[in-house]
Amino acid sequence: MTTVIDGKQVAASVIDAVKTASQALTEQTGVKTGLAVVIVGNDSASHAYVSSKSKMAKECGFTSVQHTLPEETTQEELATLVQTLNRDESLHGILVQLPLPKHLNSEPIIQSILPEKDVDGLHVVNAGKLATGDLDGGLVSCTPAGAMVFVKRTHGEDLSGLNAVVIGRSNLFGKPMAQLLLAANATVTIAHSRTKDLASVCRNADILVAAVGRPEMVKADWVKPGATVIDVGINRVAAPEKGEGKSRLVGDVAFEECAKVAAVITPVPGGVGPMTIAMLMANTVIAAYRKAGKAAPKF
């Protein structure tokens, strides 16, 4: 029997743990966890993401601050806002929603966020801590952290003896995912667009993670029987069966056929997706515990 992971349910369990941790911190120290979310411009998808993040922060009992800046905001204005948020003692997490409008350079903005408030885990200090195996000192990028919750709930904390293949080498997902798997003792291969015979590389994987952005690229004969398959891809494809001009979301994994071979698999939508926001909340409460000089909870 194949297990299809219910990402919404796992995300809800993480959110419950965040609420409990946040409440306990307030009871013990009087500190209320605070998250600031910054959005620039008019991108409607980004606005939808940001409002669900702000809403979830409120649900978790956090102080939730949203800064909505106009499209014509300058680099200096945005940089000044980040400095103000860095100095604000009531805020433990700062998230600048990406992508920024084209005239803005996101990299110096992200790197100007204090690493201890970088709840997106994109600062080089946090990337460096992960790369050197310091999982307790830094903040890990939310989507790989969420995918890793699935892996650990399936295989336990120690992945010794297991082969993991991550398809994709982005700074946002592929590299941090590979480092998390390595830190848990898996034997890790990172595959990408220049990998030779990708199918046979994947067939070696006890844990196969796909983060490519190509609809249903991973086929059943790429999957080792009994493997755990984590699909990170989010691709919108035409769905004429739903009516003219309609579309649907699919992952990087051909779900129906791969589910017949895998032991555990994530669907799209409803798999990794809901975990990203849950781990953002987890990172924020972790940051608040550390600032209060308390041992941070684990998720």
Ligand X SMILES: NC(=O)c1ccc[n+]([C@@H]2O[C@H](COP(=O)([O-])OP(=O)(O)OC[C@H]3O[C@@H](n4cnc5c(N)ncnc54)[C@H](OP(=O)(O)O)[C@@H]3O)[C@@H](O)[C@H]2O)c1
Q: How far apart are CA 295 and CA 154, in angstroms?
A: 26
By the 8 A CB rule, do 211 and 195 touch?
Answer: no
Q: How far apart are CA 60 and CA 281, in angstroms?
A: 8
Among 10, 11, 40, 212, binds ligand X (CB under 6 A): 212
Residue ranges in 179-198 that form contacts with ligand X under rule CB under 6 A: 191-195, 198
Instruction: Return the DSSP state at 82.
Output: H
Q: How far apart are CA 266 and CA 209, in angstroms?
A: 10
Which of 278, 296, 292 lies closest to 26 in space, CA to CA? Answer: 292
**273 contacts ligand X (rule: CB under 6 A):** yes
**211 contacts ligand X (rule: CB under 6 A):** yes
Among 168, 255, 267, 288, binds ligand X (CB under 6 A): 168
- Minimum gap (Å) between residue 195 Cβ and ligand X: 6
- Region for residue 267 given its phi and psi (left: phi exceeds 0; alpha: psi -120 to 50; beta: otherwise): beta
Q: Which stretch binds ligand X (CB under 6 A): 64-72, 99-107, 127-135, 170-178?
A: 170-178
Q: Given the complex with ligand X, which of 17 and 234 has the nearer CB atom?
A: 234
Quote helix, strand, coil % in the chain, to nearest 5: 45, 15, 40
CB neighbours of 283 closer than 8 A, spacing ≥ 6? 93, 119, 120, 121, 139, 140, 142, 145
**174 contacts ligand X (rule: CB under 6 A):** yes
53 is catalytic: yes
**61 contacts ligand X (rule: CB under 6 A):** no
**41 contacts ligand X (rule: CB under 6 A):** no
**172 contacts ligand X (rule: CB under 6 A):** yes
**250 contacts ligand X (rule: CB under 6 A):** no
Residue ranges in 114-153 that form contacts with ligand X under rule CB under 6 A: 143
By the 8 A CB rule, do 149 and 10 touch?
Answer: yes
| Catalytic-labelled residue, pool 32, 111, 118, 120 | 120
32 is catalytic: no
97 is catalytic: yes
Q: List interacting residues with ligand X (CB under 6 A).
A: 143, 167-170, 172-174, 191-195, 198, 211-214, 232-235, 272-273, 276
Catalytic residue numbers read 53, 97, 120
